[in-house]
Amino acid sequence: MLALSANDKVFLCIGHLDFRRQVKGLIKATQEILKQNPYSRAYFVFTNKKKTSVKILHYDGTGYWLHWKILSEGKFFWPKLDSASCTMSPMELQVLLSQGNPVQAAFREEWVKVA
């Protein structure tokens, strides 16, 4: 599992990618499809056509990490939106990686106590 903090940004690519792409190909997809800076230290999440595999690209300040999860059975829930990408919270990403539906998951609203 990934160790994500509440402050991490997560961008999800709605369409599928050819998973022969490795880090350089995902950097290009981050720029062209997601319209994001691949050096931003955010997590960029991609899936294959069958929704049985997920790749996550992350820059940590010195280099790129490529996380790749292949399910032994079943599929990942993937939102169907008109846009090319969407954002999600780190908690929603953890639910998605556990084969859950982050849209139906009930989370408490994030809040900050005002003194």
- At residue 15 the predicted structure's pLDDT band, cuts being 50, 70 and 90, is very high
Q: CA angle, corner 48, sides to 44 and 52, nearest 5?
A: 105
Domain segments of the chain as ranges: 10-97
Mean pLDDT throughout 57-69?
Answer: 96
pTM recorded for the entire structure: 0.86
Residue ranges of alpha helices (H) inside 21-81 are 23-32
Tell me, what's the pLDDT at 3?
A: 84
> Is the pLDDT higher at 110 or at 58?
58
Q: Would you say 61 and 29 are in contact if contact means Cβ atoms under 8 Å apart?
A: no
Tell me, what's the pLDDT at 107?
A: 57
Residue 43 has which token pair?
Answer: 């997590």
Tell me the average pLDDT of the chain: 87
Tell me, what's the pLDDT at 109?
A: 65
